[in-house]
Amino acid sequence: MFARDLLADGLIADAGDGDVRIRPAADDPEVVVIELSSPSGHAMFEASAQELADFLDRTYDVVVPGNEHLWVDVDEALTHLISNDLT
């Protein structure tokens, strides 16, 4: 899971630090490159910039930017993940 802001920023320029990075493809502005890194490995995905922008627009229709905290309790999700990881 990562922020919509990261996806939106990655549509127009290099975005992200660390484990998740998103950027327009160097050779095709119609394509967005999504890179995921972890101690377990590295993966790169390509997506249509237009389809990603359309997806973001639909999410903004459902949850207005800045109101994400009203829909997702990050502390609760982290607690759940951590407790499952230790069992």
Q: Are 23 and 32 spatial neighbours (Cβ–Cβ below 8 Å)?
A: yes
Inform me whether the pLDDT recorded for 13 exceeds 90: yes
Q: What is the pLDDT of residues 18-77, one digit of tens each?
A: 899 999 999 998 999 999 998 889 999 999 999 999 999 998 887 777 666 666 676 777
Please tell me the pTM assigned to this model: 0.71
pLDDT, residue 46, reads 97
Q: Which two tokens stand for residue 52?
A: 């990603």
- Domain definitions of the chain by residue range: 4-86
- Note the Cα 30 to chain centre separation in Å: 18
Buried b (16+ CB within 10 A) or exposed e, 46-83: ebebeebeeebeeeeeeeeeeeeeeeeeeeeeeeeeee
Q: Which CATH superfamily is domain 4-86 in?
A: Sporulation-specific cell division protein SsgB (2.30.31.20)
| Other CB atoms within 10 A of residue 15 CB | 19
